[in-house]
Chain A
Amino acid sequence: MKRMKKNICVWLLLAAALLLCPRQPAFAQALGSAAGAEQETAPSADRDLEEVAASASGVDGGGMEPEDLLWAVGVAFVVAWAVTSSMMRRMRPVQTAKTARNYIVKGSYRLRGYNEIFLGRTVTKQERQESRNHGGGGPGGRG
């Protein structure tokens, strides 16, 4: 029971994250770029967030539009399906063993050779959200 409660809490947190991120696509990107960007600075990331929050569609201080509702129900069903599937797996534990990892002789794995061959590189670029208003855009480019 304790374990089940823990699982439900995890799934609820995941659901909450899902609810926030896709509604505001640039939110996740802004977070990603703020964390790992090479050139971006914290103040400009904050500015992005503010702009994104301001331009988020369908949220006008407390209303809920039909497409929001449909979207929420869709996500809720997916999460409910994931949770109940996890519960179902616990009811059906019988399965053929796929590996023999319990029987590996300790220290017997020896990697004799390892070889990496570089095949090629692809670079894609996507225009940032704030510059979309100034024209141009779309993914593209190979380097």
Chain B
Amino acid sequence: MSETVSFKCPNCGSPLLYDAETARFSCEYCGSGFSLEEVEHASANADAPFDWGDYAAGVSDEHLEGLISYVCRSCGAEVVTDAVTAATHCPYCGNVMVVEDNLSGLLKPNGVIPFRVDKKKLQEIVKNYCSGKPLLPRNFLTTHKIEEVKGVYVPFWLYNCKTDGSMTFNATRVRSWSDSRYYYTETSRYWVTCDGEMAFARVPADGSKRMDDALMDSVEPYDFSDLQPFAAGYLSGYLADRFDDDAEACLPRTDKRVKNSMAEAFRSSLHGFSTAVPVANNIRLIEPSVSYVLLPVYLIRASYNGEEYQFAVNGQTGKMTGNLPVSKGKYWGYFFGIAAAISSLFAAATFLM
């Protein structure tokens, strides 16, 4: 049985929710507002939770691998969830619960970026995201059904590292000129070697197996100047996971990214060449260090024409991403429309010449 923490209004006892806009906790029932310090102080002075004793221990299904159960401190219901959930809602009373076991010891995050985008703004963000997309089915915005909107703190590893190494290119310089009879093209070939180093700070890689890596990469970047020391209070009102992909398992993704960036930097150091083809590189990642943080993401699941679409919104910047449905009719309409327009242009030009 895992321990959970939930924050209750010191005035009326109702669940408190974290308000991303004001960065304070608010009570939906009596309208009171509290700072993190006030809530933690009130929580420390609260009554001891009800002791369910042997009964609570007896009802847990320990044989269900990968699942944990806990008792809601608000209504006493037993809630079963998977082992990587760090914060969730009680399905019976809606109370927000933070699974402390998943956020302590080695699982305790070093920091958290609080949600800055309010759920109320999501509708507008979705609308803006869908505008200016000519291939979107005409009725998508009116008929799609948002199945679920979840504010989730996703576990991320942030890597600080350096890269060091060299890269070799096969490069050419091309020069052209002409005389009264011929056009000349001179191609000079070079073997170019660059050697250098570069530093990276806070390269993120999500540590959750159930999050799509590409989707999480696409909501970047985050502004890490807003990174706060971790406090469980930030999770109130949102869901949270703990990592199930450790820092070592996620390192190859970061390794690839930083090496590509280093290769780009080497390529941009070459001047005056017409072509430069990389033939060998020896770039190493050195002095990697890692920190564990929770970053805010809204996950939106929508259905349209029987198919499901998953979108993600950066909970700090509001950047939205996700693959949209394509109207085949519009696609072919544009295709043949453009082709017809260009053919007509050509015909008109030929006719006039």
Residues on A facing B (Cβ under 8 Å): 1-4, 8, 11-12, 15-16, 19, 29, 32-33, 36-40, 59, 61-64, 68-69, 72-73, 75-77, 79-81, 83-84, 87-88, 90-105, 108-128, 131, 143
Q: In whole angstroms, how far apart are the Cα atoms of A128 and B346 in the complex?
A: 28
Question: Would A114 and B181 count as touching, CB distance under 8 A?
Answer: no
Closest CB-CB distance, A44 to chain B, in whole Å?
9
Residue B59 is within 8 A (CB to CB) of chain A in the complex? no
Determine if A79 and B214 form an interchain contact, defined as CB atoms under 8 angstroms apart: no
Q: Nearest residue in A to B195 (C-beta to C-beta)?
A: A113
A81 to B338, CA, bound (A): 9
Are B349's CB and A19's CB within 8 A?
yes
User: Which residues of B have CB within 8 Å of A143?
Assistant: 186
Q: Known pairs A80-B339, A91-B323. 11 more at Cβ < 8 A?
A: A2-B132, A16-B349, A68-B350, A72-B346, A81-B335, A84-B338, A91-B136, A104-B261, A121-B188, A122-B187, A131-B180
* Known pairs A15-B345, A62-B351, A100-B258; A87 contacts B181 (CB<8 A): no
Residues of B within 8 A of A (CB): 131-136, 162, 166, 171, 176-203, 212-215, 217-218, 220-221, 253-254, 256-258, 260-261, 264-266, 269, 321-326, 331, 334-343, 345-347, 349-353
Task: Give Cα A53 to B203, complex, Å.
Answer: 58
**What residue in chain A is nearest B325 (Cβ atoms)?**
A91
Complex Cα gap A50–B307 (Å): 60
Complex contact B203–A103 (CB within 8 A): yes
A36-B134 in contact (CB<8A): no
Q: In the complex, what residue of chain A is closest to B212 when comparing beta carbons?
A: A94
CB-based contact B202/A103 at 8 Å = yes
Taking the nearest CB of chain A, how far is it from the CB of B150, in angstroms?
A: 18
- Which label, helix, strand, loop or mixed, suits the secondary structure of the B interface? mixed
CA distance A1 to B136 in the complex (A): 12
Asked, given contacts A75-B346, A95-B214, A104-B199, whether A80 binds B178 with beta carbons under 8 Å apart, the answer is no
What's the Cα separation between A37 and B171 when bound, in Å? 24
Complex Cα spacing A63 to B195, Å: 60
B179 contacts across to A, CB distance below 8 A: 39
Q: Within the complex, which residue of A8, A59, A110 is in contact with B198, where a contact is CB–CB below 8 Å?
A: A110
Report yes or no: A61 in contact with B353, Cβ–Cβ below 8 A: yes
Beta-carbon nearest neighbor of B196 in chain A = A111
CB <8 Å contact, A80 and B342 = yes
A87-B334, A126-B182 given; A114·B194 CB < 8 A: yes
B337 to chain A, nearest CB (A): 8
For A100, the closest partner residue in chain B by CB is B257
Among B217, B218, B336, B353, the one with the most A-chain Cβ atoms within 10 Å of its Cβ is: B353
**Which residues on the B side are within 8 Å of A105 (C-beta)?**
198-201
Known: A12-B342, A39-B178. A94 touches B200 (CB 8 A): no
- Are B217 and A97 in contact (CB-based, < 8 A)? yes
CA distance A11 to B258 in the complex (A): 35
Cβ of A37 and Cβ of B342 under 8 Å apart? no
